[in-house]
Structure 1
């Protein structure tokens, strides 16, 4: 059992007035929401890495405080083991300090620091993200191809998550029939280019991002410029010619492609990363070597779609994009996740790379872009 004493916030404040050193060991982004008045902010990692630099006198009275009391106790035990003889921990931490109505202060921050710490506070608490991960997101560039059913929810969450540069490409305008699923747009946006409507809404949500609105028809002539400099591509297209073009271009440029598709009450999500993992990861052509006949693959305007379904698939795509950018978790590479909304069931299908794939097989030279409309129209 630990011999380090736990004291109440009131006792900590009393000791502070008698010369004790109160140290808030939370990280800087946690302290941004308020610190116990009189506390010195030193992150736990820094304190434990160089205790002598911060506490040169072993018998100085030191009181540690964190958010709830757990980390401060653990740090106090470490200090006691190093020979510090007058160390204590605040029971309940800053939460208890606030509940006791004891004075709090805001640490000095620039406007940019305050916005960063407040806006992304829940990300910063995740060890898998933290400050470094959040700055990685802010430095990332994502192409969202399509500002419709899939691109709308995905774009919202990528912007909210702090993906610093979003390039949105679409040549369509907002129609009233879009509004039941394309939540980026409003009734006032009807008749407006989708990319401009999307940019306005995303910047209203997170004004510090760079949202690049490109009103262009995506073709073999425009795809290379759209992919220039991006880290991940989110496929929000709604037709087979565009999906094949996007697949081939992402292989050529070695960029991961987060695929999504919806029809009526079902959806699919996967990640195709064959450009960087030839022979290890499949591409879209490994899943669909040939497109199905048009009558077996109607789009939403022909077959209809439950309004919430693109939202669910788009959010899954956004999740995969964030995982790819942060290098965490297990992306859906080599796996196809299918969703049936009526049965509320998910099914996972393993995908293997096709060793004879004309695009992603090892050693296969890029054949160039083709007439994708003709390829998808059949003989």
Structure 2
């Protein structure tokens, strides 16, 4: 069933003669401006209880959305519900604005305006929306390392509105870092990385809680760092810390988003064995023993293409957001490898090791070990 369509000029004239104009967009969409004379009632709320928002069933009702589709759909639903005089504004608010007709700004608090404007593109995604964005703002993520991986990952997590970021690192900014660690600037050289990162992230998104923890992460403080955390992002650059973080995340049942880079290649995975024993592998299932140091040089020894940590860090940030929102297919049980020179991605399936020393089903957590000694051997 089709409903009549009016041009924005015609709709404005009808409003002047008593017609009721309803903007059926969501509140965050109306925040950018509404047609003068319109009342904001989201489509779902309008159709759930039309009598609460509309005049008598024979009163003149005009509906407007962004482009005209949702208002037409809502109009057909109202006709089915018994309303006999319903029209839709052709082209919606976009056409109204294009014709330079009067617009009004709905009343909002400063916090509401910031939320609606800052996260407007997230709010348009059905998989995120207001509920998902609110979830992100209430989430807590530990970013271990403010270097090559932690820098781009934390930058995008802050931009996405992850409400609490705890960043742990004991290093200071060096000029050689700036080729890839984009959260730092030349003025930050000599400053603790966590403080430099905190200042830059708050400059990007002042409403966040960014906790700068300037410590060397060890078995003695890892439990405190994981307290209250929803997801951990591993931006470390050495094997002892990776094994420690893996074991701690299993013990605390927290998903671990892993990343690593070397020269022109990188890899990403999600280890969630703490919550999915016997189903999801852990880092030890992939690397039961660390490779000899000669086969695992760090960036200071082997070098790294400056953009590569950005690629891997962004993939890690994506996996963190997916974990927080429970959407998509996470990289659990999959290792994604990236070759920058060939511009190729390769996926390898990972299976849990039934004899894993840490995550095997029924195996009790034996406590932390001397990870430096373990990796040296």
1:180-211 alpha-carbon deviations (Å, 9 max, x no partner)? 00001011100000000000000000000000
Structure 1 position 53, deviation (Å): 2.0
List aligned pairs for 1:294-333, cutoff 5 A.
Answer: 294-333=293-332
Correspondence for 2:188: 189
1:56-111 alpha-carbon deviations (Å, 9 max, x no partner)? 51101000000000000000011011111100001110000000000000000000
1:225 aligns with 2:231: no
How many corresponding residue pairs? 377
Correspondence for 2:29: 30
Moved over 6 A (4+): none
**Cα RMSD between the aligned structures?**
0.6
State TM-score, norm by structure 2: 0.99
Correspondence for 1:174: 173
Corresponding residue SS for 1:95: helix
Tell me how far apart the structure 1 counterparts of residues 161 and 364 of structure 2 sit (CA, whole Å). 37
Tell me how far apart the structure 2 counterparts of residues 52 and 38 of structure 1 sit (CA, whole Å). 19
Correspondence for 2:264: 265
Tell me how far apart the structure 1 counterparts of residues 370 and 184 of structure 2 sit (CA, whole Å). 32
Tell me how far apart the structure 1 counterparts of residues 144 and 158 of structure 2 sit (CA, whole Å). 15
Corresponding residue SS for 1:179: helix
Structure 1 position 51, deviation (Å): 1.4
Correspondence for 1:100: 99
Structure 1 position 55, deviation (Å): 2.1
Corresponding residue SS for 1:243: helix
Correspondence for 1:89: 88
Structure 1: gaps of 5 or more residues:
none
1:191-242 alpha-carbon deviations (Å, 9 max, x no partner)? 0000000000000000000000000000000100000000000000000000
1:352 aligns with 2:356: no
1:48 aligns with 2:47: yes
Correspondence for 2:143: 144
Tell me how far apart the structure 2 counterparts of residues 125 and 41 of structure 1 sit (CA, whole Å). 17
Tell me how far apart the structure 2 counterparts of residues 3 and 157 of structure 1 sit (CA, whole Å). 44
1:318-364 alpha-carbon deviations (Å, 9 max, x no partner)? 00000000010000000000000000000000000000001001100
Correspondence for 2:19: 20
State TM-score, norm by structure 1: 0.99
Correspondence for 1:361: 360
1:284-324 alpha-carbon deviations (Å, 9 max, x no partner)? 00000000000001000000000000000000000000000
Tell me how far apart the structure 1 counterparts of residues 186 and 112 of structure 2 sit (CA, whole Å). 36
Tell me how far apart the structure 2 counterparts of residues 335 and 366 of structure 1 sit (CA, whole Å). 24
